[in-house]
Amino acid sequence: MSIQLQPVSETPRVAQEAEEGQGHLVPVLPPTDEGPGAWKYLLGCFLVEALLWAGDMAGFPLAFGVFQEYYSRQPEFADNPNIAAIGTIATSIYFLGAPLAAPLVRRFQWWQQYIVAAGWAICAVSLLAASMVSSVSGLIATQGVLYGLGFLMLYFPVLSMLNEWFVQRRGLAYGVLCAGGGVSGAGLPFLLEWLLSTTGYRTTLRVIAIAQFVGLVPALLLLRPRLRPSSSGALRAVDLSFFRQPLFWFFALSNLFQGLGYYIPSLYLPTFASVLGLSGSMGTLILAFNNMACVIGQVAFGHLSDRYNNIHVLVFVSTFAAGLATLTIWGLVHSLAGLLAFSFIYGSFAGAYVVFWPKFGSLLSEDPQTIFSLMAFGKGIGNIVTGPISASLLKGPITSGYGLGKFEPLILFAGSFMILSSLEVVWLPLKHFMRRFPLQISR
């Protein structure tokens, strides 16, 4: 992978920490991309993702589909159209807050490990608070807003330190990081469904809060920076010249379109399965298939992004395959086997998109973290409007036709934006190719 992260003060730090002997310096920094330090840090990242994010959809996120289904059946929450907003808001705070979090992490490098610990505590407190409320607005404030803020505080310092440890193999590192959510998300829905059905949401939230708080202790012990943070906290000027590059805007639009369609299957597959007459456990199994497929796709595409220089092809394959599967398999199948097949294919391809963000950064700027945060912001816009848009599209009677009738507009919306995302990212390279090799039509 061609990412070149160049900390301004790395060489002076080596000099400061070196042993001055016979007129020469002995560097003491551990190596990047290899060695015990790098792999221990990546393991810590994996545990953070597994325990706090568990996918892409709200406080242990992709599992939020289970909470949404449960909340919709409770008398105190029934018929409230804002239930889906709980998960959407939690993820959107992380995404939309990214452009602010990235420069603040650079500004307060010396405090980044303390910020991680504070975010860890806030996530646990938010779930404990959620267990004490009895309204959707209360759940939005706690399981949504507060959890999202805690995760935002924790996550960006973790990413900043990850960029210190991995340079040439950063795509693989981000793939492993993101896969942590998929691994736990494959089993967590079953655990949540069992806990919710046997103990209710209050006890379930308390159990998860305690498990997260205790489980993250070993992860935090592994999260050690490779470079000694600067105590001066000087805020370097951010190079924004990439805004003048057409390639940035093609990536940004592709990312926005992908975000508009990405979350819909995760939110509505359990409901779709319920309409088909499948049990709640079968809906949970479908989510688990999606999460496990994300693991495969994220690690595989992350590794490929390190080795394969043409990121446009990888992005096209990821988004086009996901869009095609949505429009065909999800729209046409009316069986458990078909939904499992769709969930696995969709998760493998659509779930991999986030691992391309560091590669976008390496192509556009010397500071990949800035590009990463802007891509997160763009996806957050798509994510936050998914709730109200999907609710407005979910109308009409249940039929035996395409998308069971009621879900047809939803499926067409999600699949179409995935296809648009794929076409957006290949348009600029295709335009350059046609200029270089114009089509000659003989008469």
For residue 175, the 8-state DSSP code is H
Q: What is the pLDDT along the chain (443 residues), one digit of tens a residue?
A: 444 344 434 433 444 444 444 455 555 788 888 889 999 999 999 999 888 876 544 445 556 777 887 888 888 887 787 887 887 788 888 888 999 998 888 888 788 888 999 999 999 999 999 999 989 999 999 998 999 899 999 999 999 899 889 988 999 999 999 888 888 878 887 888 899 999 999 999 999 999 989 988 998 899 988 887 665 555 566 778 889 988 899 999 999 999 999 989 988 898 899 899 998 788 888 988 888 899 999 999 999 999 887 888 999 999 999 999 999 999 998 899 999 999 999 999 999 999 999 999 888 887 788 899 999 999 888 877 887 888 888 888 888 889 999 999 999 999 999 999 998 777 666 655 555 555 454 44
List the structure tokens of 214: 């205790």
Whether the CB-CB separation of 265 and 323 falls below 8 Å is answered with no
Place of tokens 């210190």: 164
CA 306 vs. chain centroid, Å, equals 19
Q: Rounded CA gap, 195 and 109, in Å?
A: 40
Q: Which domains does the chain have, with CATH numbers?
A: 33-226+241-431 (1.20.1250.20)
CA distances for 265 relative to 283, 286, 325, 330, 379, angstroms: 12, 10, 11, 9, 16
- The residues near 216 (Cβ < 8 Å, ≥ 6 apart) are 47, 48, 51, 52, 120
CA distances for 293 relative to 69, 349, 352, angstroms: 22, 8, 9
In single-letter form, the type of residue at position 103 comes to: P
- The residues near 36 (Cβ < 8 Å, ≥ 6 apart) are none
Backbone angles phi, psi at 20, to 5 degrees: -90, 110
